Amino acid sequence: MVAPAPPLAAKDLWLISDPSQLWRARRFAEGAAKAFGFGEEDCYAFAFAANEAVSNAVEHGAPYDDGTVRLRIEEDGLELTFYVEDRGTFAPQVRTDDVISDRGRGLAFMAAVVDELEVKPVDEGTLVRLTKRRD
């Protein structure tokens, strides 16, 4: 007998694209991570990674016409996934000097604390996906 797929739950947050609003993105991610059952360390890691992704969208991306970037969190029982989408085109920057760019550092950080990191162009923008699994 095959068990039915667990229900998928999703939450959305349209966030004004401004650095002063980033704390809301962290609360959103942290709340979902807690509800998902992550321990304190994983909750922090998830919120940290989400903050980096949204910071990138706010600082280097472009908002939707209403001034927002779009956040979504989905869970399927086994893993928690955070998405942020903006209307900018993402071009990974290669720096020629010896100072790692803020954006480069943010990406490296994100990759270090989640299980999957995906940055992909979508119709008219950029979608970043972060997935963290239960241990």
- Binding residues for another protein, rule: CB under 8 A, are 19-24, 26, 41, 44, 47-48, 51-52, 55, 58-59, 100, 102, 105-106, 109, 112-113
d(CA 55, CA 19): 7
Contact between 34 and 43 under an 8 Å Cβ cutoff? The reply is: yes
CB of 24 to another protein, least distance (A): 8
d(CA 123, CA 41): 35
Nearest-5° Cα angle at 114, 109 to 116: 110
| Structure-block tokens of residue 120 | 């992909």
Short-list 134, 101, 135, 104, CA closest to 119: 104
CB of 58 to another protein, least distance (A): 7
**Please, which residue, 23 or 122, has the CB nearer to another protein?**
23
CB of 121 to another protein, least distance (A): 23
**Please, which residue, 40 or 66, has the CB nearer to another protein?**
40
**Please, which residue, 47 or 127, has the CB nearer to another protein?**
47
Contact between 73 and 11 under an 8 Å Cβ cutoff? The reply is: yes
CB of 10 to another protein, least distance (A): 25
**Please, which residue, 30 or 85, has the CB nearer to another protein?**
30
Contact between 11 and 77 under an 8 Å Cβ cutoff? The reply is: no
